[in-house]
């Protein structure tokens, strides 16, 4: 059994640290060697660094690519005929998006990993689902990170209802009918953070009473726009609880360049690293590793990208590792917090992008 297979067989938040390091290091070595062989631009980068995949003894020893490199290079490890889908990252108007090339096995792995991670938080059953977005997000030829998020999370729901019309205004009658039909038992809500906030602001201004006490909200896509409005995670959760009875709220952190390898926030608000991922925090001065509790640049790793070399990336986000195996929620593994974007990084969160273009 390969190291990757052992990670797939393990509970997503159940591995002991020494097991995780062993299997994850072997899986990264296999991926790095594969991409070096099949992706010439990536091979040139490794050759310039003088890196031999067989030399690494721990995940942090593998080189990383700056996430912005996917805007400038065609990084693909499969022949054109095997590319099943090209996902483009969100970017502000006028910015060049990243292009992520997915073949069938990679897309399937993304779905499997997402299912394992999310099920650990909401359970295995498919719940009635209210999507806080519009139907047109899934139409058209361009498959954006926002569309990928909606399509990926839609698999956890049934009786899917769109909360917004194509004009991005809440469909109050559709929402009311959904709650009347499904609101008496657990149901799922999904949307990008800024859209979710706008949606609940509109409900509050509608003059009607809305009961979301049985809802489970999953949201992600960036806090920059809401932070500018003095709305952070705690205030976000407080207002949803007090105004709508919605208390089960899970943020998540992820990016198009590693779709499927999301980091879900637990009941304590901590983002958790699954068996399919790893995370390090690096100092901006020399990219050396930060200590636990020390702020720095987030580096993310994943065993999922088989069709493109996106398995070890330096993000444009600032964060802090809070601990490992010590979260009060009981999940094993590392847990962390995202503190914001790097000052020089463009605003490109999925929901932040919508706000920048339409706000």
Residue 357 has pLDDT above 60, yes or no: no
% pLDDT > 70, the chain: 90
321-355 pLDDT tens trace: 999 999 999 999 999 999 988 876 544 444 443 34
Contact by Cβ (8 Å): 194, 221: yes
Encode pLDDT of 94-122 as tens digits.
568 889 999 999 999 999 999 999 999 99
Q: What confidence score (pLDDT) does residue 341 get?
A: 85
Which pLDDT belongs to residue 227? 58
Q: Which run of H or E residues covers position 178?
A: helix 172-182
Q: Is the predicted pLDDT of residue 225 greater than 90, yes or no?
A: no
Over range 204-227, report the average pLDDT.
Answer: 85
Least confident of 99-103, 133-137, 210-214: 133-137
Residue 93 has pLDDT above 50, yes or no: no
Helix (H, G, I), strand (E, B) or coil at 293: coil
Structural contact between residues 273 and 259, judged by C-beta atoms closer than 8 angstroms: no
Per-residue confidence (pLDDT) for residue 77, from 0 to 100: 97
Distances 281 to 62, 146, 218, 288, 294 between C-alpha atoms, Å? 14, 26, 25, 8, 8
What is the predicted pLDDT for the residue at 345? 52
Mean pLDDT in residue range 65-70:
94
- State how far the Cα of 333 lies from the Cα of 14, in Å rounded to an integer: 7
pLDDT confidence band for 295 (50 / 70 / 90): very high
Residue 97 DSSP symbol: P
């Amino acid at each position: 059994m390969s190291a990757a297979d052992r990670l797939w067989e393990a509970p997503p938040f159940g591995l002991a640290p020494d097991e995780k390091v062993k299997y994850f290091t072997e899986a990264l070595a296999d991926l790095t060697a594969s991409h070096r062989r099949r992706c010439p631009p990536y091979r040139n980068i490794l050759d310039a660094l003088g890196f031999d995949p067989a030399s690494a003894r721990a995940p942090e020893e593998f080189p990383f690519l700056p996430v912005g490199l996917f805007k400038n290079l065609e990084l693909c490890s499969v022949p054109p005929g095997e590319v099943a889908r090209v996902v483009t990252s969100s970017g502000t108007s006028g910015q060049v998006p990243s292009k992520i090339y997915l073949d069938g096995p990679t897309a399937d792995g993304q779905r499997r990993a997402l299912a394992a991670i999310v099920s650990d938080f909401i359970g295995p059953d498919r719940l009635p689902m209210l999507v806080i977005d519009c139907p047109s997000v899934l139409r058209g030829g361009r498959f954006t990170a926002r569309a990928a998020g909606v399509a990926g999370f839609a698999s956890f729901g049934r009786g899917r209802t769109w909360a917004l019309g194509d004009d991005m205004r809440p469909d109050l009658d559709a929402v009311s009918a959904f709650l009347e039909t499904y609101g008496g038992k657990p149901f799922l809500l999904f949307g990008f953070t800024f859209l979710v906030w706008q949606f609940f602001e509109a409900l509050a201004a509608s003059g009607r009473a809305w009961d979301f006490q049985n809802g489970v909200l999953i949201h992600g896509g960036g806090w920059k726009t809401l932070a500018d409005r003095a709305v952070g995670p705690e205030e976000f959760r407080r207002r949803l609880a007090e105004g709508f009875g919605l208390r089960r709220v899970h943020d998540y952190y992820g990016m198009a360049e590693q779709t499927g390898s999301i980091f879900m926030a637990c009941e304590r608000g901590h983002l958790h690293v699954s068996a399919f991922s790893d995370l390090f925090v690096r100092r901006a001065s020399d990219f050396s590793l930060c200590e636990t509790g020390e702020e720095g640049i987030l580096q993310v790793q994943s065993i999922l990208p088989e069709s493109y070399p996106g398995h070890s990336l330096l993000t444009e986000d600032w964060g802090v590792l809070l601990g490992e195996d010590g979260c009060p929620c009981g999940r094993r593994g590392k847990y962390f917090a995202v503190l914001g974007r790097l000052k020089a990084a463009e605003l490109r969160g999925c929901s932040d992008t919508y706000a920048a273009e339409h706000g």
